[in-house]
Amino acid sequence: MNFKKSIAIIAISGLLFSSCKDSKSEVKAETAAAEAPAPKAKKEIAAANLQTASFTIEGMTCAVGCAATIQEELTGLDGVQEAKVDFDKKLATVTFDKTVQTPENLTKVVQATGDGKTYKVSNMKS
Number of Cβ within 10 Å of residue 16's Cβ equals 10
Which domain does 70 fall in, by range?
47-125
DSSP classification of residue 116: S
Average pLDDT over residues 74-101: 95
Do residues 25 and 74 both lie within one domain? no
Per the domain annotation, does 42 fall within a domain?
no
Residues 42, 89: Cα–Cα separation, whole Å: 28
Query: Which of 111, 67, 116 lies closest to 93 in space, CA to CA?
Result: 67
- In tens, the pLDDT along 37-55 reads 555 566 787 888 899 999 9
Residues 52 and 114 reside in one and the same domain = yes
**Model confidence, pTM:** 0.65
Query: Considering the chain, what is the average pLDDT of its residues?
Result: 80
